[in-house]
Structure 1
Amino acid sequence: MLGLYFHIPFCIKKCAYCDFVSTGQQSKIAPYMHALQKETELIGGMYNKAVDSVFFGGGTPSLIDEDYIGRIMDTVRRLFKFREDAEVTLEANPCSLTPGKLAAYQKAGINRLSIGLQAAQDQHLKTLGRQHTVAMFDEAFGMAREAGFENINVDAIYALPGQELAEWEETLFHILHKKPEHVSAYALKIEQGTPMARMVADGEITPADEDTDVRMYHMAQAILGNKGYTNYEISNFAIAGYECAHNLKYWNLKDYIGLGVSAHSCIERLRFANTENIDGYIKNMGKGALRYEQSDFIDDTERKVEYIMLKLRLKKGFLLYDYKSRFGEDFLLTHAQELKKACSEGLCVVKDDCVMPTKRGFDLQNRLVSILIENM
């Protein structure tokens, strides 16, 4: 099975914390989408695998004209072995959704939306540089339900500068009142080179401390867990049966193709990525050239490290027989000392032939992984 990711790098305005490849230059939408269509046509048919997940990410995919999304989906159906029961996700900003767009998405085969709330207080949205208000989110979520979407994720960010525990609790309950099928809750990371990093450097805002970060994460686990959401991945919570199939491909080391500027792909042991320059990407596609900015062959050691790192982001961890079938070695024998150390620190357990992270292991995932791979 194959997953397809389409990067739509356009926004009304780049958020203060965002370090993804995105731009507010909407004059480039038409040439870029023409280039993305061209790349889809060039890639189509190259891989003899059924496509069972599609993800439109960004940027803000809901910003562009909905006809572009429809054309891409038509091309996917025409050139790929597309499964009609595939999960097809589109990321959306509340202020760019309309009933007309939502109807067009339904027609195109989009069956899952990911809507960014981030915080239930307008002052925090302003600090983040978001272009919507809480009221706009409420309206957008209602429109999505009225349009017939039965699989909706809501994004939220915690550990914001100046955010109180009570405000994070308010955000969680605001989300729960909507009854989405999936919630993604991420701790804010202030990346170098972003406007928010400059705000910190200038003393305009103060980042949350580590203790607040952990307390807010535990609050999300408790509140969402009590309402039936399983913390199936470190930052993701879902009602049973609504786990994100596309993102599970990344964590389970399945094959995926990324199309668009800066998009990454991984097919078996080959990893490759497009240029991060939007103009360069448009130029390459204008020449009909699949020119990847980087490509790497993943050796055994690197693959083992990736396997452990990604699998232990999942609540269910990894099966010992799966590890052995992939790498030809018994993890209990080859990593006995490392596993003993991780278990003694309460970071993981071995249960039902699985190595599974504990709640503490989720908190200290970097520590867990570093122990298990220290002798690789």
Structure 2
Amino acid sequence: MIEPSEKAKDIIAGLGAFIRDEIIPLEKQENLEWGEAHPREILRDVWKRSCELGFYNVMLPEDLGGAGLNVVDLCAVKESAILTGSMLAPHVLGELSGPPRIGHLFRVASGVQVEKFLQPVCRAEKAVCFALTEAEAGSDASAIKTSARRDGDFYVLDGAKRYISGAPYADFAVLLAVTGPGSGAAGISAFFVDLKSSGVRVESDYQVMSGAGSHGNILLDNVRVPAQNLLGEEGAGFKLAMGRITLNRLLHCPTMLGMAGLALNLSIDYARTRVQFGKPIAMFQAVNHMIADMATELHAARSMMFATAALNDAGGDIKVQAPMCKLFASEAAFRIVDRAVQVHGGAGLIRGNPVEWLFRATRMMRVLTGTSEIQRNTIAKGLLMPG
């Protein structure tokens, strides 16, 4: 089995202690619940405290203040955070609105943009979201309609983004808009957009399956964005957005498998303590076979993820393996959590039980960041039309 480095193991130990000693007690003190909206003030406190301790930027390269971890180590650290059982664990690593979302932008951002947008995110002073998806542009991301026309020293943006993760608590968005109509992907540009600007409205009056407070729509009506907020060159936005898609598909897997591993651990604990017919339900073959199947699928998915991460770290091409991992991990995670609900019985159906939330969250993962069907298309294309 591929093991993380000693550096990563030290980070995992420190991260686990921080979450155990500070974050989980905070969740209890504030009466936070799985799947409910968490107050922005609490999230900001978590970001800042994590930043002080060095965890918020840990996924960045060393020259940007991170730990400089390879992909195997990144997978191990991300998975370990979820396995703590903390509902705020992703926020500790800045996964939803922090440094991992903007690390790759340092190489294309201007000095002014680094100082105004990127560095404040790394200091936990501002939160960011990535805004691409629209009503008619989901899997076909190049079909976006939001427009950006040049007007002197500004661009004027009009359109609407929807289902944007992190939008309700973000300060600004990295937002894609069409600057070259009729040019397809080559006509799409990226902008830093202050979400407090005149003409911008964030709607978050709906909730996705995983709960409230983490997704929203961004509406733009005649929004004047300084030309210096253009990220890179005109027409380079789509390439910028898709440039890391292969690696990102792999890096979504530790989150999903962390959820599955947490569900397995919760099921083992529950099966050992839940008594029916005078003995723990772990003694019943129907239950222990479910747990055996959960553990087996998790082992297979984790082995696949770490093998692909190791291949990437060795300089190998993972353009087929990464979507394979995303496909298998997302579907395996859902099957594992589905069995966890079955093991928990009625308790697993109640809002507030982590297993119930994990069921909803893992079901979303088969759609988010590229549906299972899109992953299959990518895999087949890589096998049938290599090069």
Q: TM-score range by the shorter chain?
A: under 0.3
Normalization by structure 2: what TM-score? 0.26
| TM-score normalised by structure 1 residue count | 0.26
Which structure's residues are more often strand, by fraction?
1
Greater helix percent: which structure?
A: 2
